[in-house]
Chain A
């Protein structure tokens, strides 16, 4: 464990070296939230079954959840694979995924700290009517759903990063498709997914994407039946396991065809 704590420490130091980069990344997040916020405050938001205070809570939660779930160094992995930089990590006596997750812990902590700061600022500027969840059980379930989300996102990114094992030139394209289209759009990061017609909404919930953003937020808001909440939690857990196993399998296959380019 000592090893991975060391990874955590050095990653934290490394992140601080990229101050400007980090601030710009945070700025991008805030802009996305503002777009969401103004879009929804201009329509009659009760229309889709959300009260205004709930939709504001949704927007603010987005900031924090994005920091927890979507800030990850796994994004760099497809580049490592196609450039051969991965070799540096493979010859070290560490588990690559644990290494990445330790790094992520540092990155996520920084992002979370910043997102709380931003939420406070935005709250003071916009002075919205916010819904605060006080039920401890709901909060615990919310945290569990977040942990699932972290691992689902990580697995999805590593899975899409494995494509360059077979097609080295593809790296960036797959990443863009996966993150922008599927993840951003279908996870609920742009709008609550229950604005979709019911059959589509129900279908989407069978895919792993809503468990990244939408389901955790729903769990926080707590406006679902106990049955619905339990079902979501179970499905989220199931996807976490399936994707984790799949990721390991694909990665192992990838390593067998890995060509360690660059020399």
Chain B
């Protein structure tokens, strides 16, 4: 069972009513048939994830990331295609399957609102058949990691958003799931907690050989954690491969970084390529990949250059493009 997650030509359609606003349209919609529109949230996507992989799942809002996670955790019924997680059909909601997975969403609320947090954890211990000893160890570990040991006996309703997020995470991890679907896990956390959580996910992935699929709009989450990324846009997979290679695949340009010995008019520099940033004595010029050698020679010839470097476009810039939905395969 090397392939933990198999997705083959998965499609998911939603029907939406195209209602207008205002009283008139509302009343009219009571008597007439509404315009139903089919939204194709996922269009025949395919990928597999091996045991112990940590995959970043990225794309702009509405690209289909969460929909995929919901299908993989058995919440949504696929319109067509094949899905298997841990050799189970997720939608079957088999107990053995659900005991081994965890879906962590920024807005999920599984805590008992009016009771001390510890009751919710205790409840999950029973529901997920966690042994008392393991439970204790996991809880201590998670609680100290996220720095919430003093809050265990506080009513859930009295926690702040960030504190509640941490508690949600603990509740989701207390039973040591083998497959983790993390949908924006660091949302609402402060920087310290974000880092602590990233470290934890990293460790958890290594130690437990857990398979993790992670979506995030937080750059550090991706840079620190994901070796492999799947980029989705408009319900399709745009890229699936090593995080580092995102740049070579998608950056049509390279960056020439120069250090000047005396100030040069920016207009002149523009003749070589697009000036990304000019902050004397440093200047960053973006030029097409194919002509980078020629451009570099031109720079050396025309300008008083002390130092010159040819660099790849920063991965952050590529990811930023991904979030803007600018990447097309």
Contacts and interface: CB of A to CB of B under 8 A. Distances in A.
A93 B127 CA distance: 7
26 contacts: A6-B123, A6-B126, A7-B123, A10-B115, A10-B119, A10-B123, A13-B119, A14-B115, A17-B115, A87-B75, A88-B109, A90-B75, A91-B73, A91-B102, A92-B110, A93-B127, A94-B127, A255-B77, A256-B77, A258-B75, A258-B76, A258-B77, A262-B107, A263-B66, A263-B105, A263-B106
Contacts of B106: 263
A interface, over-half SS:
helix
Given A10-B115, A10-B123, A14-B114, A93 B99 contact: yes
Contacts of A18: 114
Contacts of A263: 66, 105-107, 183
A92 B114 contact: no
Interface in A129-174: none
A13 B115 contact: yes
B123 A88 contact: no
Q: B101, B107, B126 — which one has the most chain A CB atoms within 10 A of its CB?
A: B126
Closest 7 pairs (CB-CB, A-B)? A17-B114, A93-B98, A6-B126, A256-B77, A260-B75, A93-B95, A93-B99
Contacts of B127: 3, 6, 92-94
Interface in A81-136: 85, 87-88, 90-94
B112 interface: yes
A44 interface: no
B98 A91 contact: yes
Nearest to B108: A88
B280 interface: no
A15 B127 CA distance: 20
B70 interface: yes
B93 interface: yes
B74 interface: yes
A172 to B, nearest CB: 16
Nearest to B95: A93
A7 B124 CA distance: 10
Q: Which interface class (under 10, 10 to 19, 20 to 34, 35 or more) fits B? A: 20 to 34
Given A17-B115, A87-B70, 5 more contacts: A6-B127, A93-B98, A255-B77, A258-B76, A258-B77
Q: Which interface class (under 10, 10 to 19, 20 to 34, 35 or more) fits A? A: 20 to 34
Contacts of B66: 263
B27 to A, nearest CB: 14
B63 interface: no
B278 interface: no
Contact of B108 (A10, A87, A93): A87
A62 to B, nearest CB: 30
A87 B69 CA distance: 12
Interface in B49-99: 66, 70, 73-77, 93, 95-96, 98-99
Interface string B101-134: 1110111111010110001000100111000000
A106 B114 CA distance: 16
B47 interface: no
Interface string A6-27: 1100100110011000000000
A205 to B, nearest CB: 35
A115 B191 CA distance: 52
Contacts of B105: 263
Contacts of A88: 108-110
